[in-house]
């Protein structure tokens, strides 16, 4: 089942080796008495480390501390590393796997007849799939009882004992316990094993009264789990096969301290609250329907926000020399053959047929822009040519990978393509970066820059790559910009600069990109007439700052938790008449503010004012304008700001001016 090979071990002992050597992370050599277990190695380094140790890594493979370490395959001293609480994810994975066993032990005790299947550690926690006995079910309400039982197993500090047993013995054990899933797993291990490496034994892990079929590794004992929590219940088919039994999957997580657990749960809670798929409908912006998977339906307010971004791209692009173009949706397969998509990207495209010709809907704008460039003659005098197009794109993403606005099939990029001479690259890239910073500033977002250089697989001479990488570096350095280098991470057709942000939940998102491309100009045979009257090859730069408008809106909603800057808020102000006799005045205020360019609503329901305020707060509307007798007489509005509450009264004119200024200056706060 793993690298453990008793035969090789006994040979080593027979050779009379009473000690063994290992290489420490520092490079020093450590000599340990046989039998060399992880415990022995940790103790030889220091008693403090021996106490803190959770497991040991030998040549990249993790072993239980109690196991005798296998001999090094190379004959050289193996590289070791002791895993402790401070080892990060690897350490957490160990105790989360431990917690999965403790969970299974507990449900077996609390739900006699339960059948257990598999329980691995996963990113940020663990799960265990179980089949509950007939007539029982399990919900969040049962968690406290199960957690209490788990705590007993943890407080008892049960040692995890590994034992390698014959397949026959393991089958006997799990058959007697009527653990059918374990029996099936063992039988499959045997029948799926290659002929040259038959499976004759399996490993079992015991903690307290509980035995599980398991590869390991585990921490020494249950008490290493310092804080844990069961989180949710879901259904999961046995082996992911919808024709098999539906099992109950219980998710949980574990940490080395209560504080870390709490911080984690808090982050999850905020992520749930900030989920753009929840906020979209709540703010009246967009929704999804199974009639068009992976494609948002934009409600009027959402469409206005979307259009604000398109407007912003246009407004900022025009003075920077971008000219907007429009290219088709559907192209003959010949275009995709020229671009290379037909060979390399076809399964991600929606393909269709008409009059016995094959067409595909564009997944990106670049080939269309190359075709457009080709359709006119270009002289060096008019370069750089900068096309922009908020074009509609479709990509055939697998339905299982779709995720709100962040992973879609239908979207629009704020796409731009620059065709320029090689000498112009540096200025053009600097121009793209300036454009990017000016854009991100409007959202109060800082970006990190990453320069990705030549990959192994690439086209073009080294000399060409030297020049293009230098042009990107110079563009960055001439502006004194900090950047990280991702060696070998460039596209096969050229190096690129990517722009990343960290959101309010600490997650990293790529926003913009600026890529040099020598490939498309070659494939499409793009040329310009030089001063020498000869035809020359231009260089192409692909750039997008938002990535796609959809994705950017999704990221901003999550980053701001739905509290978008005023200029971008779907509804910027809502007028709240205190009673029916103020509705007419409220309608007048709404009209005046709409006239001033704002997105405004009136809440004329016959609800109490406190109810209206609460609902507007939930919708995260930046300004609530309360109007009653006093305001009506004075021609004023009582201004409440989201989260801040009452900020005093203003005349309608003064408030309209203030709001219009926030909108036209695209103020961040
Ligand atoms: Zn296990
Ligand atoms: Zn492109």
Span from the CA of 403 to the centroid of ligand 2 (angstroms): 23
Amino acid 280: pLDDT: 95
The residues whose Cβ lies within 5 A of ligand 1, an ion, are 214
Instruction: Please check the confidence at residue 400 and state whether its pLDDT lies above 90.
Output: no
Ligand nearest, relative to CA of residue 339: 2
Span from the CA of 448 to the centroid of ligand 2 (angstroms): 21
**Total number of domains in the chain:** 4
Residues 104 and 77 in one domain: no
For residue 413, indicate whether it is catalytic: yes
For residue 395, indicate whether it is catalytic: yes
Instruction: Please check the confidence at residue 8 and state whether its pLDDT lies above 60.
Output: no
Summarised one tens digit per residue, pLDDT across range 649-663 is 999 999 999 999 999
Ligand nearest, relative to CA of residue 517: 2
Summarised one tens digit per residue, pLDDT across range 429-460 is 999 999 999 999 999 998 999 999 998 888 77
Q: If pLDDT is split at 50, 70 and 90, which confidence band does 117 have?
A: very high
Pairing of strands 161-166, 125-131: unpaired
Q: For 492-514, what is the mean pLDDT? A: 91
Q: Which residues contact 112 (CB under 8 A, 6 or more apart)?
A: 133
Span from the CA of 40 to the centroid of ligand 1 (angstroms): 24
Helix, strand or coil, per DSSP, at residue 473? helix
Q: For 584-596, what is the mean pLDDT? A: 96
**Which among 49, 68, 86 is the end of a domain?**
86
How many CB atoms lie under 10 A from the CB of residue 591? 13
Instruction: Please check the confidence at residue 118 and state whether its pLDDT lies above 70.
Output: yes
Span from the CA of 214 to the centroid of ligand 1 (angstroms): 4
Residues 460 and 418 in one domain: yes
With respect to residue 357, please indicate whether it lies within any of the assigned structural domains: no
Pairing of strands 227-237, 19-23: unpaired
Amino acid 4: pLDDT: 42
Ligand nearest, relative to CA of residue 216: 1
Span from the CA of 542 to the centroid of ligand 2 (angstroms): 4
Q: If pLDDT is split at 50, 70 and 90, which confidence band does 505 have?
A: confident
Lowest mean pLDDT among 139-153, 454-468, 481-495, 534-548: 454-468
Instruction: Please check the confidence at residue 1 and state whether its pLDDT lies above 50.
Output: no
Residue closest to 547 by CA, chosen among 313, 353, 231, 378:
313
How many CB atoms lie under 10 A from the CB of residue 106? 21
With respect to residue 182, please indicate whether it lies within any of the assigned structural domains: yes
Instruction: Please check the confidence at residue 64 and state whether its pLDDT lies above 90.
Output: yes
What is the 3-class SS of 152-171, one letter each residue? HHHHCCCECEEEEEEHHHHH
Instruction: Please check the confidence at residue 188 and state whether its pLDDT lies above 60.
Output: yes
With respect to residue 353, please indicate whether it lies within any of the assigned structural domains: no
Which of 179, 413, 424, 572 is an active site residue?
413
Amino acid 669: pLDDT: 64
Residue closest to 378 by CA, chosen among 419, 422, 428:
419
Distance CA 556, CA 564 (A): 7
Q: Name which residue leads in pLDDT, 326 or 75.
A: 326
Ligand nearest, relative to CA of residue 211: 1
Residues 163 and 249 in one domain: yes
Which of 386, 542, 551, 559 is an active site residue?
542
> What average pLDDT does the chain have?
93
Residues 77 and 204 in one domain: no
Instruction: Please check the confidence at residue 384 and state whether its pLDDT lies above 60.
Output: yes
Q: Name which residue leads in pLDDT, 241 or 16.
A: 241
Residues 23 and 171 in one domain: no
Span from the CA of 241 to the centroid of ligand 1 (angstroms): 21
Span from the CA of 36 to the centroid of ligand 1 (angstroms): 24
Which of 366, 370, 420, 514 is an active site residue?
366
CATH code of the domain in which 441 resides: 3.30.930.10
Amino acid 343: pLDDT: 86
Tell me the two tokens of residue 636: 């004023």
Q: What is the largest CA-CA distance in the chain?
A: 103
Ligand nearest, relative to CA of residue 413: 2
With respect to residue 173, please indicate whether it lies within any of the assigned structural domains: yes
Instruction: Please check the confidence at residue 5 and state whether its pLDDT lies above 70.
Output: no
Instruction: Please check the confidence at residue 226 and state whether its pLDDT lies above 80.
Output: yes
Span from the CA of 123 to the centroid of ligand 1 (angstroms): 15
For residue 643, indicate whether it is catalytic: no
Instruction: Please check the confidence at residue 2 and state whether its pLDDT lies above 60.
Output: no
Q: For 62-86, what is the mean pLDDT? A: 90
Q: For 634-644, what is the mean pLDDT? A: 95
With respect to residue 271, please indicate whether it lies within any of the assigned structural domains: no
**Which among 508, 537, 559 is the end of a domain?**
559
Span from the CA of 99 to the centroid of ligand 1 (angstroms): 9
Residues 321 and 452 in one domain: yes
Q: If pLDDT is split at 50, 70 and 90, which confidence band does 344 have?
A: confident
Span from the CA of 255 to the centroid of ligand 1 (angstroms): 17
CATH code of the domain in which 47 resides: 3.10.20.30
For residue 462, indicate whether it is catalytic: no
Span from the CA of 221 to the centroid of ligand 1 (angstroms): 13
With respect to residue 277, please indicate whether it lies within any of the assigned structural domains: no
Residues 60 and 108 in one domain: no
Residues 587 and 510 in one domain: no
From residue 544, give the alpha-carbon distance in Å to each of 148, 181, 389, 440, 507.
Answer: 53, 50, 10, 12, 21
Residue closest to 411 by CA, chosen among 300, 296, 302, 499:
296
Span from the CA of 329 to the centroid of ligand 2 (angstroms): 15
Amino acid 291: pLDDT: 95
With respect to residue 281, please indicate whether it lies within any of the assigned structural domains: no
Residue closest to 522 by CA, chosen among 261, 338, 257, 255:
338
- Structural domain harbouring 628: 566-664
Which of 115, 218, 395, 458 is an active site residue?
395
With respect to residue 440, please indicate whether it lies within any of the assigned structural domains: yes
359 within 8 A of 371, measured Cβ to Cβ:
no
296 within 8 A of 405, measured Cβ to Cβ:
yes
Q: For 381-403, what is the mean pLDDT? A: 93
Ligand nearest, relative to CA of residue 327: 2
Q: How far does Cα 393 stand from its chain's mean position? A: 21
CATH code of the domain in which 203 resides: 3.30.980.10
**Which among 59, 86, 113 is the end of a domain?**
86
Amino acid 229: pLDDT: 97
For residue 415, indicate whether it is catalytic: yes
Distance CA 470, CA 465 (A): 8
Residues 506 and 629 in one domain: no
Residues 296 and 254 in one domain: no
Ligand nearest, relative to CA of residue 118: 1
Residue 620 φ/ψ region, left for φ over 0, alpha for ψ in the -120 to 50 degree band, beta for the rest: left
Residues 221 and 111 in one domain: yes
Instruction: Please check the confidence at residue 15 and state whether its pLDDT lies above 70.
Output: no
Q: For 4-27, what is the mean pLDDT? A: 64
List the alpha helices (DSSP H) in 478-543: 519-523
Which of 57, 496, 612, 620 is an active site residue?
496
Instruction: Please check the confidence at residue 389 and state whether its pLDDT lies above 90.
Output: yes
Instruction: Please check the confidence at residue 566 and state whether its pLDDT lies above 90.
Output: yes
Residues 378 and 453 in one domain: yes
Amino acid 13: pLDDT: 45
């Amino acid at each position: 089942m793993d690298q453990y090979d008793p035969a090789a071990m006994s040979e080593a002992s027979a050779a009379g080796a009473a000690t063994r050597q290992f290489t420490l992370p520092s490079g020093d050599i450590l000599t340990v008495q046989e039998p060399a277990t992880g415990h022995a190695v940790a103790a030889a380094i220091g008693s403090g480390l021996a106490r803190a140790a959770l497991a040991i890594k030998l040549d990249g493979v993790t072993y239980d501390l109690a196991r005798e370490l296998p001999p090094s395959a190379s004959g050289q001293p193996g590289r070791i590393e002791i895993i402790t609480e401070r080892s990060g994810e690897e350490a957490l994975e160990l105790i989360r796997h431990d917690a999965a066993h403790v969970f299974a032990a507990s449900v077996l005790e609390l739900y006699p007849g339960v059948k257990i299947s598999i329980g691995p550690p996963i990113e940020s926690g663990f799960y265990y799939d179980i089949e509950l006995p007939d007539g029982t079910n399990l919900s969040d309400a049962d968690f406290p009882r199960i957690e209490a039982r788990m705590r007993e197993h943890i407080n008892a500090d049960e040692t995890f004992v590994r034992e390698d047993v014959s397949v026959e013995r393991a089958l006997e054990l799990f058959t007697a316990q009527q653990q059918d899933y374990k029996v099936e797993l063992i039988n499959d291990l045997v029948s799926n094993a290659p002929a040259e490496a038959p499976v004759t034994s399996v490993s079992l892990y015991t903690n307290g009264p509980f035995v599980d079929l398991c590869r390991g590794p585990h921490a020494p004992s249950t008490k290493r789990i310092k804080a844990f929590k069961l989180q949710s219940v879901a259904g999961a088919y046995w082996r992911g096969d919808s024709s098999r039994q539906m099992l109950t999957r219980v998710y949980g997580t574990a940490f080395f301290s209560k504080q870390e657990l709490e911080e984690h749960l808090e982050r999850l809670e905020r992520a749930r609250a900030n989920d753009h798929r929840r906020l979209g409908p709540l703010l009246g912006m967009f929704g999804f329907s199974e009639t068009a998977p992976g494609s948002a339906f934009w409600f009027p307010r959402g469409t206005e926000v979307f259009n604000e971004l398109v407007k912003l791209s246009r407004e900022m692009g025009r003075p920077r020399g971008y000219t907007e173009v429009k290219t088709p949706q559907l192209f003959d397969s010949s275009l995709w053959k020229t671009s290379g998509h037909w060979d390399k990207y076809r399964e991600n495209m929606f393909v269709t047929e008409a009059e016995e010709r094959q067409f595909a809907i564009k997944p990106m704008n670049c080939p269309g822009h190359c075709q457009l460039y080709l359709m006119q003659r270009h002289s060096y005098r008019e370069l750089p040519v900068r096309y922009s197009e908020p074009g509609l794109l479709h990509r055939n993403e697998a339905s299982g990978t779709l995720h709100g606005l962040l992973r879609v099939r239908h979207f629009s990029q704020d796409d731009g393509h620059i065709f320029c001479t090689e000498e112009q690259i540096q200025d053009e890239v600097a121009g793209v970066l300036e454009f990017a910073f000016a854009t991100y500033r409007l959202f109060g977002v800082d970006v990190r820059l990453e320069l990705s250089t030549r990959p192994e697989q690439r086209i073009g001479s080294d000399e060409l790559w030297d020049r293009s990488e230098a042009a990107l570096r110079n563009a960055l350095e001439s502006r004194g910009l900090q950047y990280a280098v991702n060696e070998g991470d460039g596209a096969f057709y050229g190096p690129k600069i990517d722009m990343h942000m960290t959101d309010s939940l600490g997650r990293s998102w790529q926003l913009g990109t600026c890529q040099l491309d020598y490939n498309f100009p070659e494939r499409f045979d793009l040329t310009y007439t030089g001063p020498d009257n000869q035809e020359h090859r231009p260089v192409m730069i692909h750039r997008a700052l938002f990535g796609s408008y959809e994705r950017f809106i999704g990221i901003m909603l999550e980053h701001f938790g739905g509290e978008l800057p005023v200029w971008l808020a779907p509804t910027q102000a809502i007028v709240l008449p205190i009673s029916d006799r103020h509705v007419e005045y409220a309608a007048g205020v709404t009209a005046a503010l709409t006239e001033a360019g704002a997105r405004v609503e009136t809440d004329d329901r016959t609800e109490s004012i406190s109810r209206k305020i609460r609902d507007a707060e939930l919708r995260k509307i930046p300004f609530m304008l309360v109007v009653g007798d006093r305001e009506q007489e004075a021609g004023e509005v009582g201004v409440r700001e989201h989260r801040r509450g009452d900020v005093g009264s203003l005349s309608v004119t003064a408030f309209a001016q203030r709001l219009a200024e926030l909108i036209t200056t695209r103020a961040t706060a």
